[in-house]
Chain A
Amino acid sequence: MLSKQKLIKLISNSLKISEDEISFDSKINHIEEWDSLGHITIMFAIDKATKGKASKIVKLNDSNGIEAIYKLLKKNNLAE
């Protein structure tokens, strides 16, 4: 199960930026590093962290920020 903090850490690691540079409210267009390659890396990391279960969430790829990703993961019992 991913917590809010673990998700922020996972995303900052994926984008190769400091955790201080993002917050729960951060959206794609707020972060320069969150381009299409960055987004793919995030999805990759989430699938890996959930052992592939997140790949069943069809709308996850269309999420436009951390909160939206977290809500979808929580709805599918993959976040606490």
Chain B
Amino acid sequence: MKNFIEIAFGSKKINIQNICNKKFGKQKSNLILSKTGPKFIKICNSNENSLTLAIKAFIKLKNKNKKINFKNLIFVTENNIRNYPGNSFLFASKCNLSEELNLFDINSGCTGFVDAIKLADKFKDNTLIVCSETYSKNISQFQRNVSTLFSDAAAVFFYDKNKFKVINEKSGYKKNTYDFITSKNKNLTMNGKKVFDFVRTVVKPQLSNHLKLNKSKSIKKIFIHQASKVIIDYFKILFKSKYIIPTNIVKRGNTVSATIPVLIFDNIKHFKNEIILCGFGVGLSYSLITLKIND
């Protein structure tokens, strides 16, 4: 069943709990981790980057499914290794892919995977979606709200037109919120309070509307971007009575555009029939789809 998806993480394991215990004491550290989620994160070592992680994931996918055949490649990342060309061109060359491929690069954060699915659905042929993020390279020194949260990871997802179909979609952004998660001069900053407010006042109502408009007995699962434990807990409290909301934030950390495919990889048993995918974050923006999966 997992023959359409693969993942790869940075090889350096960081013990967040130990760092927080030393910096803030055990009590405060436990409080922080109860909101952020991961006790460990995995980040790139000096030889790894968004391209090497993506290639690693792709090799794993090719090894288990030699039949994948696609004419489009969408590479989603906020961590292109060059200013230009985008990672898609480097990836295609390094993986020795066909020169007839249509290559696309999306500079998008936590909505990136959902945005790519929307695009892939509109193409005539199959698409390989690659999401690869290395936020650790934009964090020069420990910051409580970002260093405790983000792992580096890549996911490759083979969008087979015979298997997947987007039923409907909704997306948007909020004006003048671009400063709330941003990176200038390779320095990542995030205003967690403002991001949470965006989730409460924009994402949650949009998701509620989307669910109302898509009342189908077969929709039981919502795959939500794994922003932080407090945000996943928030959605669980609001929607758990009617929907299954898979989570892996504690185990994996927030991997930006790769979080939803990593979540799918970890919860493949729930990835069937009709599901909702909900990405939100940098922009600040959100992207929602109902996806039909044919077995």
Contact = CB atoms under 8 A, between A and B. Distances in A.
Interface of A: 16, 36-37, 39-41, 43-44, 47-48, 52, 55-56, 58, 61
B200 A47 contact: yes
Interface stretch (B56-64, B87-95, B190-198, B259-267): B190-198
Closest 5 pairs (CB-CB, A-B): A61-B197, A55-B200, A36-B193, A40-B196, A36-B192
A58 B194 CA distance: 11
B238 interface: yes
Contacts of A40: 35, 192-193, 196, 230
If over half of B's interface residues share one DSSP class (helix, strand or loop), that class is named, otherwise mixed; here it is: helix
A55 B204 contact: yes
Interface in B108-160: 145
B193 A61 contact: yes
Contacts of A58: 201
Interface residues of B, number: 19
Nearest to A51: B238
Chain B CB count within 10 A is highest, among A40, A43, A61, for A40
B234 interface: yes
B176 to A, nearest CB: 14
B238 A43 contact: no
A55 B205 contact: yes
A48 B237 contact: yes
A34 to B, nearest CB: 11
Nearest to B194: A61
